[in-house]
Structure 1
Amino acid sequence: MRALVVGSGFVGRALARRLTGAGAAAVLASRTPPTPPGGLAVRDWIRLDITDDGAFADAVERTGADTVVLAHGPSDVTWCERHPAAAAHGHVEAARQVVRAAGDRRVVLVSTDQVFDGTAEAPDETVPPRPANAYGRAKLAAERILAELPAVTLLRVSLIYGWEPADSPKWLNFFAACLHRLRAGERVTAPVDQWTTPVLIDDVAAVTAALVRAEAPPRLLHLGGPARISRADWAAVIAELLGAPPGLVLGEPRANGRYADRPASSCLSSGLLATHPATAGLAPRSVREGSRLLIDRFARHTPRTSPTRTPTPTPTPRSTA
């Protein structure tokens, strides 16, 4: 299998590593080189702005890809809300380019829980989407365009988390941001009323790899963690596992911080994940299990450093989910 993974951020790098480890020839494609490279050589990356007319078709031809995984951005909810036209263009035009050139290739789109407005506690695949922000509207528009393809899976994933170094040049995922601040003895402020079903990046990669290899994968699949948890409660779990003082975690209303543009409930459930032949047996881990795994794997073996400050969103969005 030759896989073209569009998007070389946190999610794209993990998916390419998983596919490569499973024996595929995976190539990352993005506007800028992956940083950090994440175990992939420069030769495993090509430059691509997927919104440029014809650029995706050229990339498919150059790489000989028979499989395409779309994990590109922009995906920062706050940035998208401030730049809705640019957000829409980044996803909609990309989808159009893929439809024009993908043919009968297997395509997996890594989509989002933000296609729902939070009125359903944890919607499954049967619940009609109704986005409440610009990012969700852009992703849903891309989903509907890509649904024209004969061999597509729309994989809606809840909040993705995993290890990222403190000096990452881009926005850290929630787990990594909490981890580095707490290890440095700094306070973490998180909303008590914004609920998620977080998914470990390892589990996202495992499900994606299973979908691209399956003979008859589902056309729509939800992937969320096994339990709902607020961001403040999750930060408290991370502090507990680190042995950090619980007083370092401060709760606040969602409306007071950068999560104001997200629905109160950004959760997903699935009626297919555990029963479909493509994914049966791939149960996502709880945040406690996933956080403990990451802390044992990375944090206890790396020096404590000053935390990465949460930056003010800039006109350059993060290009990962």
Structure 2
Amino acid sequence: MKKIVTILGARPQFVKAAVLSRVISEHNVIEEVIVHTGQHYDNNMSMVFFEEMKIPVPKYNLNINGLSHGAMTGQMLTKIEEVLAFEKPDAVVVYGDTNSTLAGALAAQKMGIKVIHIEAGLRSYNMSMPEEVNRILTDRISNLLLCPTQTAIDNLEKEGFANHNIKVVKSGDIMKDAVEFYGAMSDEKATVLQNENLEPNNFVLATIHRQENTDDIVALKGIFEGLTKIHQTKKVVMPLHPRTKSVLEKNKLRYPITFIDPVGYFDMLALLKNCALVVTDSGGLQKEAFFNKKPCVIAREETEWVELVTHGFATLVGSNAQKMQEAYQLHSNKNHDFSVSLYGDKVGETIYQEIKKLIIQKE
């Protein structure tokens, strides 16, 4: 039986990878070994997390976290290389743009093992973002690039990938499968609406955590001033990220919006399903808002998911409070047609078939 090693480093990657793991298990032709680098330490990722989410438990947990980018990536490279030397896989699968993604791709390619990059081709064109560096380098050293959108395909074409011996495929966005699968489960398991006494369609869901916002106090103040203005019209609910909480407390900043503790995935899906609108600087949440038929205000200057903006489902406002309020009013008064297909269907199966083609050759 052929074998793949999947490298994961953050909770959202586990949610996405679970889609492909289920398809692999159903076909029973390829063995999958999962490695958790430990990059994002997360109290929510206990055994209960894996059991409730129906996610395979990693065979390896490298427990590498809390280090600088260089130290973290270097230690991952060493440890992943040891795992690959022992497991001898036919290919390594990596997701997205974390340090774990780059370390997994580098370790595999240097050992002559094929690299498969899921969520390939995304670009913010902001090289100050560590994620942008990771995704560009990972794309260049991969053998199979599975792109979620036509925009991602176009990005690779502009960068001359037609001149490289790398297969590029428009697979669709695997997160769409995950939201559909877990959306049904969240109806039974989520408790956040009752716990926080939230009425459907009567609140705005906000998440702010990106380093470019939390490390820039002027930007952070602008974002929260915008959220405060929205809160005067409709309740703003924010699951407060530890990094954001720390900066607010350190600078003694207080805002009259509704802060709640960080929530698990089922509760987050319930918040998405029942909110009126989303304000976020998260890349993944922008798409999940769309999958749940909610407009989105993006607290960044650019987005990798440009089709959301061009189709009118999202608006970029950066940290400008006035732009945020205007975007909120725009989307609140607009009827959005979410029936347009931007991210494919049965994406997990499509990705599985492409992996199978890559590693299972006819004798």
TM-score, normalization: structure 1?
A: 0.44
Larger Rg: 2
- More helix per residue: 2
TM-score, normalization: structure 2?
A: 0.40
